[in-house]
């Protein structure tokens, strides 16, 4: 394989998903490639396999659309899963301009500044933003490709069964 365009997770922008609608984490799947030493667990490359891609291929990021409660639509992506409605697995993220917002915050959660930045970026309050429906673009994945975010999620303690939703 010729060296693909390698991009760190934190550097992915809407333009990346316009050019390549599916990305794969290459740190594990490309261990036999000569450029593998240039990767780490945050490195992604464009998917070059057959579509729709299966989550069994590795960690995928799939272009999606986020629809806010008021019907506004924004570019987004998700990590398709095998089953269910688990925000911690599907990790939906949306773009407002070049800024990305995630809704799964793990144990740390989300700062009030981050939440305020989302509301300022879309020019709306929480009542017009949530719930947000995330739906992967058609034909991109065989996995679960849709989920709803009712706010910013965090785990209370170390168990997802104690998930807290904040707006």
Instruction: Let me know if residue 122 belongs to a domain.
Output: yes
- Amino acid 1: pLDDT: 76
Q: Is 1 a domain residue?
A: no
19, two tokens? 């050019």
Give the residue numbers spanning the domain of 103.
7-166
* Beta-carbon-side half-sphere exposure of residue 18 (alpha carbons within 13 Å): 7
- Examine residue 71 and state whether it is found in any structural domain, yes or no: yes
Number of domains in the chain: 1
pLDDT tens across the length of the chain (167 residues): 789 999 999 999 999 999 999 999 998 899 999 999 999 999 999 999 999 999 999 999 999 999 999 999 999 999 999 987 888 889 999 999 999 999 999 888 899 999 999 999 999 999 999 999 999 999 999 999 999 999 999 887 665 556 778 88
Say how many CA atoms lie within 13 Å of 68 toward its Cβ: 19
pLDDT in tens, 1-15: 789 999 999 999 999
The CB density around residue 93, as the number of other CB atoms within 10 Å, is 22
The tokens for 35 are 């450029």
Tokens of 137: 């673009």
Residue 137, domain member (yes or no): yes
Residue 72 placed within a domain: yes
Strands 22-25 and 60-67: antiparallel
């Amino acid at each position: 394989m010729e060296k693909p365009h390698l991009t760190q997770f934190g550097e992915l922008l809407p333009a990346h998903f316009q050019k390549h609608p599916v990305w794969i984490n290459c740190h594990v799947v490309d261990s036999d490639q000569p450029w593998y030493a240039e990767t780490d667990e945050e490195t992604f490359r464009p998917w070059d396999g057959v579509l729709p891609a299966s989550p069994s291929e590795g960690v995928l990021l799939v272009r999606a659309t986020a629809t806010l409660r008021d019907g506004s639509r924004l570019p987004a992506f998700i990590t398709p899963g095998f089953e269910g409605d688990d925000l911690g697995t599907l990790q939906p993220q949306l773009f407002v301009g070049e800024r990305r917002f995630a809704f799964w915050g793990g144990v740390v959660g989300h700062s009030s500044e981050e939440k305020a930045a989302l509301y300022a970026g879309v020019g709306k309050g929480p009542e017009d933003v949530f719930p947000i429906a995330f739906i992967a673009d058609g034909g991109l994945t065989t996995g679960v490709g849709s989920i709803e975010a009712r706010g910013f999620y965090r785990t209370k303690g170390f168990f997802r069964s104690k998930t807290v939703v904040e707006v």
